[in-house]
Chain A
Amino acid sequence: MFKLFAWLGNICLSLLQEMGKLLLLFLEAIIWLFRPPFRFRLFVKQLEFVGVNSLFVVLLTGLFTGMVLALQTYYAFRLFSAESLVGATVALSMTRELGPVITALMVTGRAGSAIAAEIGTMRVTEQIDALTVMAISPVQYLVVPRILAGVIMLPLLTILSDFVGIVGGYLVGVKILGINSGLFINKIYEHVDVDDLYNGLIKAAFFGLILTLVGCYKGFYTRGGAEGVGKSTTQSVVLASVLILMFDYVLTALMF
């Protein structure tokens, strides 16, 4: 019994310590963000890496999420003859919830892991030490452009995901299940606010911060060769995903 408490206590402590270090890295990145020079080229490269290269998976998952949502809600709503609300439900779910979350989880798997692996490799091969020795802040050079790219790109990807999700819902609802097209669209206008979209995008920006920051953090504190890089990569995906879902709840509770 006592052992169990000790074990739980240890887990909590290490989690707290980890959050503390994560926060410190974040603060350091903020400070370096406002010190010259601004590394525009690196920033653009990361925009491409985090954003443009994630486009395909994000569109694909967004589309299918919208399609399956339409299918599921259709069967439920038919029970009380509310089929016309399928469109509004899909649009609300996508903009408020699923667009940001699914996008963030996909980008975590694609880019967050790669960030951890790349920075982790730089750590174990002493490239980060080499930067330090050359009087260049590794936080400014490596962390700042990635975090900035995450915060900017995730909302943009999320808009696209929202849009194709709704299109997917339309295809399934109207073209396959035979809901009236005008009704489907009208109900969306009636029930979905611009605020729903905005709040979803604020979430997305947060998630972009979380997934890039966690990737950088795990990479930065990598120890122990190729095996260590593998571990950091996995851990970064797990930690970022967990944090994204936790923050999703917190932000939702605060905003809606």
Chain B
Amino acid sequence: MEHIISLRDVYKSFGSQQVLKGLNLDLPKDKVNVIIGKSGGGKSVLLKHIIGLLKPDKGQVLVAGEDIVPLSERELANIRRKFGMLFQEGALFDSLTVEENVAFPLREHTKKSWAEIKEIVEQKLAQVGLKGMGYKMPAELSGGMRKRVGLARALALDPEIVLFDEPTSGLDPVMSAAINHLIVRTKEEFGATCIVISHDIKATMETADHIFMLYEGKIIASGTPEEIQACEDPVVRQFILGRADGPIKVI
């Protein structure tokens, strides 16, 4: 199997807090890869390492075989063109309308005319259930709507690799299902590699090709949904069954 992204022995600390502790991860190409793990466990931090927003204290981050850790911002920019990213909080530009937000990457990185761009924007917004909302400002949207605009923006350029930080949290069940469907379609239609962080175990089992469990700064389990469900590890079992008692201590 071809791996588009690999992390090798990655360490990352913030002050005295160790978040990633020798993490190894291989993400297969053209698949939906879902990363699960407890809240505050470092999933968003992991995602930011993949796109070079954070640099590891130690270790390698390989994108299509190239270590991006020593690269300059300018060299990174070239690699980032392959990516789209949905931030956990949306990170919409609040001085631009919804339409301008989604159009932003298209205007910056393509030579398309405004009419063509507008058409793509309409289509992307319709895909996330926000048809006709293009004129609104981000501050006028609900949390779930902002997230979906972020999703439309991440997909605007039909990127090769898309990072989704909790795409369905805060959405109603029907909308969640639609977004999960959209992620699978993104993979199937555009051959994109999707890297998804999710807390929705049930949906993960349905949409994921591969699941990775992050715990205590390492990947402790990985495999297909069936393999994960059959996993004997007590930490994994507790997590996917959602039990309060077990090796993962909350209090």
Contact = CB atoms under 8 A, between A and B. Distances in A.
Contacts of A10: none
Which bracket fits the contact residues of A?
A: 10 to 19
Nearest to A130: B91
A137 B78 CA distance: 12
A137 B92 contact: no
A135 interface: yes
A49 to B, nearest CB: 11
Given A135-B81, A135-B109, A125 B104 contact: no
A130 B87 contact: yes
Contacts of B104: 134
Interface string B66-85: 00000001000110110101
B22 interface: no
Contacts of A130: 85, 87, 91-93
Interface in A44-81: none
B80 A129 contact: no
A109 B105 CA distance: 34
Contact of A134 (B48, B78, B80, B89): B80
Given A133-B80, A135-B81, A126 B108 contact: no
Contact of B94 (A127, A135, A136, A137): A127
Nearest to B79: A135
A216 B105 CA distance: 23
Nearest to A141: B108
A30 to B, nearest CB: 15
B94 A133 contact: no
Given A126-B87, A127-B93, A134 B53 contact: no
B51 interface: yes
B108 A134 contact: yes
Contacts of B91: 125-127, 129-130
B77 A125 contact: no
B93 A137 contact: no
B108 A136 contact: yes
A132 interface: yes
A132 to B, nearest CB: 6
Given A125-B94, A129-B53, A135 B78 contact: yes
Contacts of B53: 129, 132-133
A114 to B, nearest CB: 12
B14 to A, nearest CB: 11
Chain B facing A: main interface SS:
mixed
Nearest to B150: A130
Contacts of B105: 134
B168 to A, nearest CB: 19
A137 B89 CA distance: 21
Contacts of B93: 122, 127, 130
Contacts of A134: 80, 104-105, 108-109
Contacts of B89: 125-126
A228 to B, nearest CB: 15
A19 to B, nearest CB: 22
Nearest to B109: A135
Interface in A121-158: 121-122, 125-127, 129-130, 132-137
Contacts of B94: 121, 125, 127
B51 A133 contact: yes
B203 to A, nearest CB: 25
A135 B87 contact: no
Contacts of A126: 87, 89, 91
Interface in B206-242: none
A137 B72 CA distance: 12
Interface string B111-146: 000000000000000000000000000000000000
A134 B107 CA distance: 11
A50 to B, nearest CB: 16
Contact of B85 (A121, A127, A133): A133
Contacts of A129: 48, 53, 87, 91
Interface in B155-192: none
Interface string B52-73: 0100000000000000000001
24 contacts: A125-B89, A125-B94, A126-B87, A126-B89, A126-B91, A127-B91, A127-B94, A129-B48, A129-B87, A130-B87, A130-B93, A132-B53, A132-B73, A133-B53, A133-B80, A134-B80, A134-B104, A134-B109, A135-B77, A135-B78, A135-B80, A135-B81, A135-B109, A136-B108
Interface of A: 121-122, 125-127, 129-130, 132-137
Which 5 residue pairs spanning A and B have beta carbons closest together? Answer: A126-B91, A130-B91, A135-B77, A135-B80, A133-B85
